[in-house]
Amino acid sequence: MELTRNLLVLMCIGVACVVHSTAQICPYKAETCQCAGDFVECSGLRDIPPVITGTNVTRIKTASFVRGNITTVTKNSLPQGLQELYFSNQPLVQIDNNSLDNSADSLYFIEITQANLTALPAALLKLTNLSILYIDGSPIQKLDLAVLQHIGIKLTELHLKNVGITGNVDWLSNFSVLRILDLSENNRIIVPDTFLSSVRSTLRELSLASVGLTALPPGLLSLDNLDKLDLSGNKMNSSEINKLLAIPSLSKLSSLSLNSVGLEHTFNFSSLKNLTTLDLENNNISNPNEGLLPPSLSSLSLAANNLTSIATVVLGLTNLYRLDLSHNQITTIPNATFANLTRLTKLYLNNNPIKTISARGFSGLVSLDYFYIGFTNLTEIPVALSDLSNPTLHINIEGIPALSCPCQRSQELDTWFSKHNSSLFFTGYCSSSQSLDRYFVQGCIIPSETTTTVPISSTKGTGNAPVLEISSSCTFVSLLLFLSQIFAGLY
């Protein structure tokens, strides 16, 4: 038996040695580099460490370098055969001309955010299959024409966001297969009349947010298949918005963002028959009774406007899944306001001076799974909540210091909570500093020298046993006496 046991031990050691010798190792030895499958992420590095090579080194397809002090990418510092490369929050100033040679034929995705590059890297000239280039927050001052011509042949997504591009962007004529173009937050570009003519049939998504436009780029008229358009942050007058809505080819749009463009009223968007997402945030819309919206909408934001009541154009949008009316001047929610919005799953009414919600104010919201009504002027929990029937609902009522949580709740709220108590989730506090979750489950707190929790009668069958809470008035001495009695009984 002893011999058999020893043989088994030796066999286990041998297997362990074989497994250890054949195990795949990470191509970087640094402690802050972690490998998972074909992905490696390194954080907090001052320099990219030497690459480990060999047959037992993991073949990496994606490399990510985050939150560090890397300034230069040198030759042979990256694993061979990369497909995706990420640099995030690095003071990167130089990518050597031959630093990407090991992945010249395989690299198709590069993302660089919050770096210090001042030019598009010449190393891009070596890449034969680059499809997506994403650069955000780097002070690029030079766009090398040779680089643009080379990557323009195959690039399908170009994101040059907040990179300080200035002057004419006629270099876009080098890109003939672009599907997505993002030039947002470059506020000194000049858009030529021939803008986008080279991608009129291929471009699907275009972002020109905060680029200093005061008029529509003429090139928009030529885009045949645009699906998403973002013109946020450009101050355009009403005539320009009407021109936009009259462009026949834009009837194919599914998403339109006009955030912070200075709108003073809701326009007639009914010509955009395929629109599903509309962002009208941060404007000056105040009249709730004007404008038309297409019934195809599933997501609508009218946040941060000057609405004093729920816009009537919203009430017939039966396909809405998400509605944001936060940060307005709404004070009242009448009965049946949302009666037709039976598909709505997300509703934001927070940061409105809402004081009154009628008892049936939320009727019809049978699909709601997230409801944010915090930072309002409510003084009590609305009875209207009892019409919300989704059992997995999360209700956020935070930021209301005067919210009363009485010991005698309405019968409707009691019945509603009893039916859904196992899955409802609350965020927020009563004026007594008791969390809403505890209030609904355990009952109210009666302020006194000794804290007492009073259970609230309900129809759920979990019993109404009082919950012991030790308040600050229970002294340390009292606790010691209590413990001494327990130990005396044990011994």
Write the DSSP string, 120-183: --GGGGG-S---EEEEES----B--HHHHHHHTTT-SEEEEESS--EEE-GGGGG-SS-SEEE-
Degrees to nearest 5, angle at CA 37 with 35 and 39? 55
SS3 content of the chain, % helix, strand, coil (to 5): 20, 20, 60
Question: What's the pLDDT tens digit per position in 75-114?
Answer: 999 999 999 999 999 999 999 999 999 999 999 999 999 9
- Mean pLDDT of each 10-residue bin along the chain, 491 residues long: 45 41 76 93 95 88 96 95 97 96 96 96 96 96 90 96 88 92 90 80 95 88 93 92 92 96 92 96 93 96 96 93 98 95 97 96 96 97 93 94 90 88 88 92 70 46 37 42 49 48
pLDDT score of 40:
95
Amino acid at residue number 239? S
Residue 194 lies in a domain: no
Question: What's the pLDDT tens digit per position in 9-50?
Answer: 444 434 444 334 345 789 998 899 999 999 999 999 999 999
pLDDT score of 54:
85
pLDDT score of 409:
86
Residue 356 lies in a domain: yes
pLDDT score of 463:
37
The pair of structure tokens assigned to 437 is: 């979750």
User: For position 443, which CATH number holds?
Assistant: 3.80.10
pLDDT score of 276:
98
If you write DSSP's letter for every residue of 41-62 in order, what string do you get? Answer: EEES-SSPPPPP-STTB---SE
Give pairs for 339-345: CB < 8 Å, separation 24+.
339/315, 339/363, 339/364, 340/315, 340/316, 340/364, 341/314, 341/315, 341/317, 341/365, 342/318, 342/366, 342/367, 343/318, 343/319, 343/367, 344/320, 344/368, 345/321, 345/369, 345/370
Phi, psi (degrees; rounded to nearest 5) at 444: -85, 165
The pair of structure tokens assigned to 325 is: 């009316």
- Name the domain count of the chain: 1
b/e for 405-414, b at 16 or more Cβ within 10 A? beeebeeebb
- What are the distances in angstroms from CA 341 to CA 91, 203, 268, 329, 382? 48, 34, 21, 21, 19
pLDDT score of 485:
52
Residue 179 lies in a domain: no
pLDDT score of 372:
98
Backbone dihedral region of 133: left (phi > 0), alpha (psi from -120 to 50 degrees) or beta? beta
Contact in structure between 405 and 439 (CB atoms under 8 Å):
yes
Candidates 55, 101, 94; CA nearest to 78 is 101
Residue 148 lies in a domain: no
**pTM for the predicted model, two decimal places:** 0.83
Residues 6+ apart with CB under 8 A from 141: 118, 119, 164
Residue 124 lies in a domain: no
Give the integer Cα–Cα distance in Å for 371 and 362.
11
Give the integer Cα–Cα distance in Å for 324 and 429.
23
The domain in which residue 438 lies consists of 331-491
Residue 405 lies in a domain: yes
Amino acid at residue number 135? I
Residue 125 lies in a domain: no
Residue 430 lies in a domain: yes
3-state secondary structure of 484: helix
pLDDT score of 402:
93
